[in-house]
């Protein structure tokens, strides 16, 4: 049985709103008629299997690709983003699964990568290393991240710790919306729990969070809204109080399709 999408109640102007958005690559439909809302202090989870359209959705919100149809609004204003820099200037920070870090550089240098403060002028202008070290340490502690040493190469951190540094960096640089691309995909249970804790911390800082994942258990732990994608289409929309974890998992796993497969794979009864 297919569950009809239910519309989540809204509170105030959404930080990000996609209304009936579509994206095509030639004759290939990547997304069609997708809608979602992201509100301050809430986590919107986008779930789907490989090929569901999650990556395309990220690229639209992050400014990598323009949408072909529908409406994309940021704080109520219609936009068509031309670049990731434009998205960042409007308060949308995206943390990708493969994390754009320089492994051999220290944590503080990666924290400020591309936005390094300087001191002095003219030929005496130089990086303000002391400020970057102190700010990195303070911002990580503010998010509850207590690293042993911000001078250690970021490549020596665990995958979960690197994700947490990226989240703290986005909060520090004024992001209003944080888009996280499968942040727990390559992590074990303990590290996944650490990352989800800091995702919730970003929400508690007042950010609107978009969590892209194929794991309904992780989504249900922190999510307020759930958008399920299937082959570029919306399969369902739920709020936390309108769906159980079991039902969300069933829909994510294919529901009736799995039941049909189970019947096909059953051993024939002995005669």
Q: If you average pLDDT over residues 94-101, what whole number do you get?
A: 80
Does the pLDDT of residue 197 top 50, yes or no? yes
Top-confidence residue, 67 or 50: 67
Give the separation between CA 181 and CA 185, rounded to whole angstroms: 9
Q: What local confidence, expressed as pLDDT, does residue 220 receive? A: 93
The CATH T-level fold of domain 16-258 is Rossmann fold (3.40.50)
Q: What local confidence, expressed as pLDDT, does residue 120 receive? A: 84
pLDDT-derived band at 162 (thresholds 50, 70, 90) equals confident
Pairing state of beta strands 16-25 and 118-119?
A: unpaired
Give the separation between CA 81 and CA 16, rounded to whole angstroms: 12
Cβ atoms of residues 31 and 56 within 8 Å: yes
pLDDT-derived band at 148 (thresholds 50, 70, 90) equals confident
Top-confidence residue, 153 or 262: 153
Query: Residue ranges of the domains in the chain?
Result: 16-258
Rounded alpha-carbon distances, angstroms, from residue 60 to 73, 98, 154: 12, 18, 29
Q: What local confidence, expressed as pLDDT, does residue 40 receive? A: 94
């Amino acid at each position: 049985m297919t569950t009809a999408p239910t519309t989540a109640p809204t509170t105030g102007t959404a930080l990000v709103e996609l209304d009936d958005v579509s994206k095509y690559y030639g004759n290939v439909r990547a997304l069609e008629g997708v809608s979602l809302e992201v509100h301050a202090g809430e986590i919107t989870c986008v779930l789907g299997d490989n090929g569901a359209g999650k990556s395309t959705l990220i690229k639209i919100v992050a400014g990598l690709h323009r949408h072909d149809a529908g409406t994309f609004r940021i704080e109520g204003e219609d936009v068509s983003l031309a670049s990731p820099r434009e998205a960042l200037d409007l308060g949308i920070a995206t943390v990708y699964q493969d994390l754009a870090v320089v492994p051999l550089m220290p944590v503080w240098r990666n924290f400020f990568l591309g936005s390094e403060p300087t001191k002095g002028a003219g030929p005496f202008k130089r990086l303000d290393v002391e400020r970057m070290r102190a700010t990195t340490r303070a911002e990580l502690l503010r998010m509850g991240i207590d690293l042993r040493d911000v001078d250690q190469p970021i490549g020596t951190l665990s995958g979960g710790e690197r994700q947490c540094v990226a989240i703290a960096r986005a909060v520090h640089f004024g992001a209003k919306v944080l888009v996280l691309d499968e942040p727990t995909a390559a992590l074990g249970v303990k590290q996944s729990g650490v990352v989800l804790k800091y995702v919730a911390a970003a929400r508690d800082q007042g950010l609107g969070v978009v969590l892209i994942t194929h794991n309904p258990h992780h989504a249900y732990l922190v999510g307020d809204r759930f958008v399920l994608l299937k082959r570029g289409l919306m399969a369902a929309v739920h709020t936390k109080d309108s769906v159980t974890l079991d039902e969300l998992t069933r829909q994510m796993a294919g529901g009736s399709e799995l039941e049909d497969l189970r019947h096909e794979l059953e051993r024939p009864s002995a005669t």
